[in-house]
Amino acid sequence: MEQLTSRELRTALDTLHAIGESCAGTDEFARRGVESLPGLIGADLTTLSTCDLDSGHRSVVSDHADAISRRDIEVFDHYFEVHPLVCEHGRNRAATTKRIDDLLPDGAFRGTPLFNEYYRKIGIDHVMAVPIHVDRRFLVSFVLNRSGTGFSDRDRDLAELIRPHLANLYRLGCSAERTRDLPADAPFDRAAAPLTPREREVLDWVAAGKTNRDIAAILSASPRTVEKHLERIYEKLGVETRTAAVMRAGIVRRDA
């Protein structure tokens, strides 16, 4: 991975904050994501793509509402099983950010029916997918698309840097929807209480071995603010230590 600049890291954090701040569910997460990510990594078309691996159907949320027609979706689905990124990421829990250029030589991709019948029609030459949720049936990814110039290694590295945090925000959105749909008299389950995006970010840095002072410097906050975040995290997760919080959060992420 290339060394990213302080400005790039700050922009990445600002982008995550814009996507996750008070995000109430997956629909809002999708909308904010496709609107915010092009400001971090330039793209002509950005989508949140949900692939049903059993049915071979993809649904999309796009930053340009009319860019992909129903007919375009049908063409994509026709080549669903041979799409390089679907093949690479589908049912692969270790999936990371990939460009089609990483998987196929440019000339080979341009010679495929998928390119000529789908991507050429919508004016796209280069594609990079950022997988944020993968299970046995569904693949959910932010997909950045460009005409002309391809995505650089730096673009890929920047996307991969924020990918785990986007995944956490997506899980939080799913969790918030499940919590909202519970009956009013349902028993409260601490382990299901959603953490805020900032609390999740603090816990991610705790899991990475950072001290409160380290985290405060990374987030441009005071150590006391970090301590308050941790207190709320402990309360929500029903634990008393940093290690227990990380372990409990890991359980929540696997079950989400």
- CB count, 10 Å around CB of 193? 16
Query: Is the pTM for the entire model greater than 0.85?
Result: no
Q: Distance between CA atoms of 247 and 241, rounded to whole angstroms?
A: 10
Q: In what order do the strands lie in the sheet with 126-134?
A: 57-62, 45-52, 138-146, 126-134, 98-99
Q: Considering only CA atoms, which of 212, 236, 28, 44 is closest in space to residue 128?
A: 44
20 vs 128, residue with greater confidence: 128
Candidate ranges 137-151, 183-197, 221-235; pick with highest mean pLDDT: 137-151
226 confidence band (pLDDT: 50, 70, 90): very high
- Is the pLDDT reported for residue 122 higher than 60? yes
What residue has token string 């299901």?
Answer: 192
DSSP string for residues in 100-140? HHHHS-HHHHHTSHHIIIIITTTT--EEEEEEEEE-SSEEE
Look over the chain and give the mean of its residue pLDDT values, rounded to a whole number.
Answer: 86
* pLDDT score for 253: 37
192 confidence band (pLDDT: 50, 70, 90): very low
Inter-residue contact 139 to 51 (CB < 8 Å): yes
Kindly report, residue by residue over 59-85, the tens digit of the pLDDT.
999 999 889 998 999 999 999 999 999
- The dihedral over CA atoms of 102, 105, 108, 112, expressed in degrees to the nearest 10, equals 20
Q: Considering only CA atoms, which of 163, 210, 188 is closest in space to residue 19?
A: 163
* pLDDT score for 114: 97
The distance from CA 167 to its chain's CA centroid, rounded to whole angstroms, is 4
167-184 burial, b for 16+ CB within 10 Å, e for fewer?
bbbbbbbbbbeeeeeeee
Inter-residue contact 132 to 95 (CB < 8 Å): no
Q: Distance between CA atoms of 52 and 224, rounded to whole angstroms?
A: 44
